[in-house]
């Protein structure tokens, strides 16, 4: 991996009365707050060590500027397809901001030498600390400005990591590629991608669930009858998450069912030889039962990160009386790596990684 230190934009926390609300509006309001001096700029380029403590999990990552050539050289591996409409929206926002305000989250294999360097940095003075009271989370950042440590880290990434995996930020990687391709036709240059690198050991993969507005088009009776072709179906007392692969939990009206795929439908995908519930769901349930063939762009599907729990599904279903919910078992880390290494992809919104990075805590302006 080819990484470099960079000059960062960061918030002036003396100007921020409440972190939860301030960073919550940065996706849309960043240009306004930048113009009105809510952000500072570092004079020199640095790496940044970033720690997130939340719900008993402490994750430590490195914020750096990654060469876009690593995307072109297939060193940054994708595992999901992007959603075209969201891609366009994010491109428009990036052009308005003239900056990347959220790093792409990249996962790499564990490395003891790198971990030892991080432990040395943790003993230094904190550059920035932000408390998110509503989420009960603390974000801490240390500057890495020592030339020797910068050189050490750069060499480790170049020599030990031949690839990294996108954990969060597929759309940001896509628009980074577009901006780089179009830089000759605009005044704006784009050669590096704002990135945060975590070891797989510091990440948790949650499930990603679906709520579908479909009951105006297909009656509950017909849906249940058609589901019986593909699943062994059992009514259960209350909504819960699946306990194993190939088990789905299905909520419809006030009823909840356990769905277990029938063996004859558990066929490996030829692209990577894996059997993934999200793929089977898209093909057989959304495609063959509901007539939804473009899950990337169909507005009837809402995606709910598993970190929101079953309450997230309930809340989304309450917004529309004509919706049903599907809860899936989470993709495993080895499956994700296998898919990416094979050059294949998961369906959109198959994984939800924690920790999550906030908008505008560390930003990189375009060249």
The CA-based diameter of the chain, rounded to the nearest angstrom, is 67
Burial string for 209-234 (b: 16+ CB within 10 Å, else e) reads: bbbbbbbeeeeeeebeebbeebbeee
Angle at Cα 60 formed by Cα 349 and Cα 40, nearest 5°?
90
In which residue ranges of the chain is CATH 3.90.1530.10 found? Answer: 3-205+354-365
Please tell me the number of Cα atoms within 13 Å of 334 on its side-chain side: 1
Q: Closest Cα partner for 239 from 314, 132, 332, 167? A: 314
Q: Which residues does residue 137 pair with via DSSP β-bridges, in sequence order?
A: 54, 132
Q: What are phi and psi of 303, to 5 degrees?
A: -110, 130
Question: What class is the 3-205+354-365 domain?
Answer: alpha beta
Other beta carbons within 10 Å of 113 = 12
The reported pLDDT for the residue numbered 183 is 58
Q: Where are the alpha helices (DSSP H) in 4-146?
A: 19-24, 26-35, 69-72, 84-97, 112-121
Q: Tell me what pLDDT residue 348 has.
A: 81
Host H or E run for residue 228? helix 220-230
- Residue 185's pLDDT is what? 43
Q: What is the pLDDT of residue 130?
A: 97
The reported pLDDT for the residue numbered 99 is: 87
Q: Decide if 109 contacts 197 (C-beta within 8 A).
A: no
In this predicted structure, what is the pLDDT of residue 314?
Answer: 95
Distance separating alpha carbons of residues 296 and 347, to the nearest angstrom: 8
Q: Please tell me the predicted confidence (pLDDT) of residue 84.
A: 67
Angle subtended at Cα 13 by Cα 12 and Cα 18, rounded to the nearest 5 degrees:
135
Question: Where does 36-164 have alpha helices with state H?
Answer: 69-72, 84-97, 112-121, 147-160
pLDDT along the chain (367 residues), means of 10: 96 95 94 96 97 91 94 87 70 81 95 97 97 95 97 98 91 78 56 93 94 96 98 97 98 97 96 95 97 90 93 94 96 92 87 91 89
Q: Whole-prediction pTM value?
A: 0.86
Query: What per-residue confidence (pLDDT) applies to 170?
Result: 82
Cα 223 from chain centroid (whole Å): 31
């Amino acid at each position: 991996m080819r990484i470099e230190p960079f000059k960062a934009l960061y918030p002036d926390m003396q100007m921020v009365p409440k972190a939860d609300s301030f960073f919550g509006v940065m996706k849309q309001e960043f240009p306004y707050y930048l113009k009105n001096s809510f952000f500072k700029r570092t004079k020199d380029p640095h790496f940044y060590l970033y720690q997130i403590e939340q719900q008993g999990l402490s994750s430590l990552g490195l914020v750096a500027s990654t060469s876009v050539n690593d995307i072109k050289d297939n060193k940054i591996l994708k595992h999901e397809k992007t959603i075209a409409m969201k891609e366009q929206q994010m491109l428009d926002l990036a052009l308005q901001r003239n900056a990347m305000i959220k790093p792409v989250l990249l996962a790499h294999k564990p490395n003891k030498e790198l971990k030892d360097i991080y432990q040395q940095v943790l003993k230094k003075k904190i550059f920035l600390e932000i408390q998110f009271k509503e989420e009960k989370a603390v974000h801490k950042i240390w500057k890495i400005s020592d030339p020797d440590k910068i050189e050490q880290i750069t060499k480790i990434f170049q020599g030990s990591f031949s690839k990294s995996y996108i954990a969060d930020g597929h759309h940001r990687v896509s628009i980074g590629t577009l901006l780089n391709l179009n830089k000759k036709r605009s005044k704006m240059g784009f050669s590096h991608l704002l990135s945060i690198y975590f070891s797989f050991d510091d990440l948790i993969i949650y499930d990603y669930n679906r709520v579908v507005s479909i009951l105006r088009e297909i009656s509950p009776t017909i849906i249940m009858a058609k589901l019986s072709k593909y699943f062994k179906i059992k009514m259960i007392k209350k909504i819960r998450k699946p306990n194993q692969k190939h088990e789905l939990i299905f909520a419809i009206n006030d009823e909840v069912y356990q769905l277990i795929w029938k063996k004859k439908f558990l066929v490996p995908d030829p692209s990577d030889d894996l059997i993934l519930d999200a793929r089977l769901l898209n093909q057989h349930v959304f495609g063959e039962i509901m007539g939804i063939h473009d899950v990337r762009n169909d507005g009837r599907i809402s995606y709910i990160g598993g970190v929101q729990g079953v309450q997230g599904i309930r809340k989304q279903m309450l917004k529309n009386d004509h919706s049903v919910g599907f809860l899936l078992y989470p993709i495993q880390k080895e499956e994700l790596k296998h898919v990416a290494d094979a050059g294949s992809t998961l369906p959109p919104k198959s994984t939800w990684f924690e920790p999550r990075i906030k908008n505008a805590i560390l930003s990189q302006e375009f060249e």
